[in-house]
Amino acid sequence: MPPELAHRVQKIDRQIIWFRDLLLVLVILRLAVHYSLQMSQIGLHLDSWRRNSLIGVVSGLLAVGLQWFVGQLFPAGMKLNKNESHTEESTAYYLLSNVPGVFAQELWISFCLVTLKQTGHSNVVSVMLTAIVFAGVHLHYRLGGAIAKVPYGVTSACLFLWQGSLLPTCLFHFIGNMGSFYWSRRAFR
């Protein structure tokens, strides 16, 4: 692809991601209202925010530590799975652009869990279905990357079921993404 065209496509992609995340949040909120769900049911509250923040930060740091450990066990695999777009983005842009995406994805997970549970599905079925679909939407990371997202989806779902809040799940997801960003950039050195 010619460099000028590649630059324009990348610029459009960045704007579409923000639109996609906003659209997902609006659709979920509209569905929640339509099905008479309270916002607190899908995790939109600040009850026990200190505890939930601590749980989210600790679980996110554990995820980053696990990323490091896997990288030590399989260094060649880490280099194969490096994300080249991470080397082209500024750190500030990546941090800023990750917030709406993390929120939208975690809101989607919580909405799925609540609705699956309300329709009579068990916790295990609700968590597994949600985690599998969560992994499926990450197929742009190739099959191995998408499969690696299953434990993240399971962890987010379990954190939500445990705490009933988006705060720990969003912090877990955001810190995990920042770890992935760091390790991906480091793989290029």
**pLDDT average per 10 residues of sequence, the chain (189 residues):** 81 85 96 96 97 98 92 70 58 88 97 96 97 88 81 96 98 95 75
Note the pLDDT of residue 76: 67
Q: Which of 55, 37, 57 is nearest to 47 (CA)?
A: 55
pLDDT at 32: 97
Amino acid making up residue 44: L
What lies within 8 Å, CB to CB, of 55 at 6+ separation is: 159, 163, 168, 171
The count of other CB atoms within 10 Å of the CB of residue 28 is: 18
The confidence score (pLDDT) of residue 12 equals 82
The CA–CA distances, whole Å, from 109 to 9, 14, 31, 128 equal 29, 23, 14, 11
Give the model's pLDDT for residue 137. 87
Predicted pLDDT at 172: 98
Q: State how far the Cα of 42 lies from the Cα of 32, in Å rounded to an integer.
A: 8
- So what's the pLDDT on residue 148? 82
